[in-house]
Each structure stands twice: as C-alpha cells, then as structure tokens.
Amino acid sequence: MFGLVRAGAYGPDPAHERVSLAFTTSQAVRHAGRARGYRNEVLSLRLDAAVGSCAVEPGTLPEGALDDCVGARVADLLGHPVLPVRIAALDAYLAHVRPHTPDNGARPYALPAGGSLSRSRARARAVVDLLGAHTGAGPRTDADDRAATDTHARRFGERRPVLVVGVVNSLLEQLRSRGVDYLPCDLKGGTTEWGEPVLTDTPAHLERCGAILASGMTLGNGSFQGLLDHAAATGKPLVMFAQTGSAVLPRFLGAGVSAVSAEPYPFFWLDGGPGTIHRYGDSA
C-alpha cells in the first residue's frame, strides 16, 4: 500500500502533500457497571480536511514524533522509522483522496447520542452485524445470507469460534448475546469482563477459528499482514473495526478483508452527541 501511494496510484503525489497539524488524544475510561477500565492513546495527523489516526500503547510514542510530522511531506512520513507515524500518514492521505462517501463504497451508520457505555454498545452492534452473513452473528433477511451462512458451516463447522483480536468487552457482549463462540486475543493479556483468559499469541490460534474480528490497531503493531494472509489463503471472513487506519483498511476489501467498520476521528468515545461510522463490504 505504501508503494502504491508513493507511485501515485491513488491520485495526488504525496511528495506535494503536507501535514498541517499533528496531535495525540489520550483517554482513560471505566464504564459504569464494568469491573475494569482501560486507557487509549492515538496519534492523529491533519491533511487538509482529513484526519488520519493510529493508536499507540500509552506512553510509547517517541518524544519529538509530533514535531517530526508537523509541516512534513506525506511522502517523507510514509518512510518514517516509527510505524504508527507511517500508518497515521497513510490513513490521512487515503482519507483525503478516498473519503468515506457512498461513491467510495461507504455506507453510513448512525450512532445515537448517549453515555459512553450506550454508545460503545451501539457501535458493537454495528460491528458484529458485519459478521452476520458469515457466522450467524446477525439477522439473516434473505436467501443469499442463509446460503452464505450454510456454506461457512459446511466449510468451517458450526462451532468454530470467532477469533477476536483486540479485546473490546462490548463486542464480546454482543457475540455472547447472539450465541456466537469466540476466542479473545490481545497482546495485553489479562481476562475479559466474564473472567475468560485473554490469549496473547494470535497466530497460534488462527487455525482454531472460523472467522476473524480484528481491531485496526493490528496495523499499528505490525500484526495485520498475518491475519490478512491467513484470511486470503483460507477464505475465512476477516472483519475489521477501525479507528486506526479507518481509510486504509477498506482498500483491502476483496484481498482478504470481508468487511470494515471505519470510524475516523473524532471517535465515539470523545463526544456524547450523535455520530456516524462507515461500513464497507457485502454485509454492510
């Protein structure tokens, strides 16, 4: 993807596009009624009207990274030594030249106003619905959806779980409510809200799953390519939920990625008002 952008495959020469603003967003949250909280940190770059983002582990972004980005040419940032900077620059460029519009394949999905937990659950419903035609995780309204589910069952087995890469308890809650088995994976380890151990070696569990539901953070930590290669080789559904790389991941539809829930900045957890995410793929 970096090479295609540099070669002008998506339009304007990135050597002529400059980042005007770089910023980080840090968040700590513990939803009411939930036993555990978590922290997020996101690097974002502004290119004209577009914002590209990449999540990082809190406190790991090198000092001076923001200064490296401000006023820099996108082409230079695509070769930056820090991977999250490269991803944020790629995301900003693609959001600039391929915005989330119906002409580019996006289908808007409205998130209602509300508290942080209610909005998290609303987003989770929208994301898990994208698995529906492949796993039975969502409503099936026509023969095509039923046929897709039957094909998946014959190929992978009714009880093959969904591999969830990047544990978000609201997503697990949705899968549980729909009777879908899952394998929770996250580099941080620990346990889920329901006391289930979180697996840390994602590649070791790929063969056990029938579908993959993965965070865009896999772009920023370098693990996305392995998921993409496995999905492309096996035909397993790969559904991405993305704040990191929300404009990048739709470009992989049909090349291993089945569907994407794209959520560009500002994210649902920053505001209590109504918002929009953008869904891509046959199930959107």
Q: What is the pLDDT of residues 207-258, one digit of tens each?
A: 999 999 999 999 999 999 999 999 999 999 999 999 999 999 999 999 999 9
Alpha-carbon distance of 46 to 128, in angstroms, equals 30
Residue 153 is predicted with a pLDDT of 42
Q: What is the pLDDT of residue 156?
A: 39
Res 136: pLDDT: 60
Q: Report residue 17: phi and psi, to 5°.
A: -110, 130
Give the pLDDT score at 116.
Answer: 87
Contacts of 102 (CB under 8 A, 6+ apart): 108
Structural tokens at position 253: 């539809």
- Quote the pLDDT of residue 142: 40
Sign, Cα dihedral of 201, 284, 44, 84: positive
pLDDT value of residue 135: 63
Question: Bridge-partner residues for 40, per DSSP?
Answer: 27
The whole-number pLDDT of residue 34 equals: 61
pLDDT tens per residue, range 21-46: 999 999 887 766 666 666 889 999 99
pTM: 0.89
CA distance 197 to 230: 24
In the predicted model, residues of the chain with pLDDT beneath 50 are 140-157
Closest C-alpha among 237, 234, 242, 233 to residue 264: 242
Could you give the CA distance from residue 158 to residue 136 in angstroms, rounded to a whole number?
9
